[in-house]
């Protein structure tokens, strides 16, 4: 199964997990700092809803990629309700668009991490498929992740996902051990499930966030 197919599956899984939200839940905070659940969904649809020209203009105004993505998400959220964004995510689940200069694991990782951002504060379960987790975690630890996770954040670490049988990073590095989703979200700076990650690499990683 290729990565685009895995991404489509996780997008559809997220749609099903969010179909019955109340208005208050749509506007509740996610784990992504400063973003509501509504804004998270707006960001996830921006790959096909925001043109390169619009993103370029946002970059010129905000002078950072993070700021530009924030502006684009907010503009989309002002124009589209949460249910409308879910419809877009379902309709474009098989989209192969990806951020410039990044591989196909980037949009897969985006939906996995932001799925946790949206669902965990709502006390909802989020269980991405094992192959999707393996692809995403492998990319984050060993791939070119410009704009996602700085390479120095994972330097010198040995990442062991016990639930999927994956060992990544430096063979003799400081150990990070836990389930793949907890490891992945912690590498992105989400400490919501930090207690599920063990090893002498935990404090090293936390100092780098």
Give CA–CA dist 73/208, Å, rounded: 27
| Residue where one domain finishes, among candidates 122, 146, 163 | 122
Q: Would you state the pLDDT for residue 55?
A: 72
Same domain for 26 and 44, yes or no, is yes
Q: Would you state the pLDDT for residue 195?
A: 97
Give CA–CA dist 168/142, Å, rounded: 7
Q: What is the DSSP secondary structure assignment for residue 196, as one 8-state letter?
A: G
Same domain for 87 and 18, yes or no, is yes
Same domain for 50 and 117, yes or no, is yes
CA distances, 134 to each of 168, 187, 194, 207 (Å): 10, 14, 19, 25
Same domain for 94 and 135, yes or no, is no
Same domain for 97 and 149, yes or no, is no
Same domain for 22 and 114, yes or no, is yes
Total domains present in the chain = 2
Same domain for 154 and 101, yes or no, is no
pLDDT in single tens digits along all 209 residues of the chain: 799 999 999 999 999 999 999 999 999 999 999 999 999 999 999 999 987 877 768 677 877 778 788 899 999 999 999 999 999 999 999 999 998 778 999 999 999 999 999 999 999 999 999 999 999 999 999 999 988 899 999 999 999 999 999 999 999 999 999 999 999 999 999 999 999 999 999 999 999 99
Q: Would you state the pLDDT for residue 116?
A: 98
Question: On the CB side of 192, how many CA atoms lie within 13 Å of its CA?
Answer: 20
Q: Would you state the pLDDT for residue 59?
A: 73
| Residue where one domain finishes, among candidates 89, 122, 155 | 122
Q: Would you state the pLDDT for residue 153?
A: 97
| Residue where one domain finishes, among candidates 97, 122, 147 | 122
Same domain for 36 and 105, yes or no, is yes
Show the domain range for 149: 130-208
Give CA–CA dist 123/42, Å, rounded: 21
Query: Which runs of E-coded beta strand occur in the chain?
Result: 157-161, 166-169, 174-178
Same domain for 112 and 137, yes or no, is no
Same domain for 67 and 152, yes or no, is no
Same domain for 145 and 183, yes or no, is yes
Same domain for 113 and 33, yes or no, is yes
Contact 141, 159 (CB under 8 A): yes
């Amino acid at each position: 199964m290729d990565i685009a197919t895995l991404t489509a599956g996780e997008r559809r899984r997220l749609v099903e997990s969010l179909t019955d939200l109340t208005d208050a839940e749509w506007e509740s905070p996610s784990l992504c700092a400063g973003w509501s659940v509504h804004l998270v969904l707006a960001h996830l649809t921006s790959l096909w809803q925001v043109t390169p020209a619009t993103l370029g203009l946002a970059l010129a105004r905000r002078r950072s990629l993070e700021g530009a993505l924030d502006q684009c998400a907010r503009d989309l959220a002002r124009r589209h309700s949460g249910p409308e964004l879910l419809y877009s995510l379902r309709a474009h689940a098989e989209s192969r668009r990806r951020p410039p200069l990044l591989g196909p694991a980037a949009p897969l990782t985006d939906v996995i991490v932001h799925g946790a951002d949206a669902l965990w504060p709502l006390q909802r379960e989020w269980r991405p498929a094992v192959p999707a987790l393996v692809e995403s975690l492998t990319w984050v630890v060993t791939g070119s992740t410009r704009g996602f996770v700085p390479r120095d954040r994972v330097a010198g670490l040995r990442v062991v996902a016990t639930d999927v049988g994956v060992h990544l990073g430096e063979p003799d590095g400081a150990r990070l051990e836990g389930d793949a989703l907890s490891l992945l979200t912690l590498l992105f700076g989400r400490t919501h499930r930090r207690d599920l990650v063990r090893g002498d690499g935990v404090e090293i990683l936390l100092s780098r966030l």
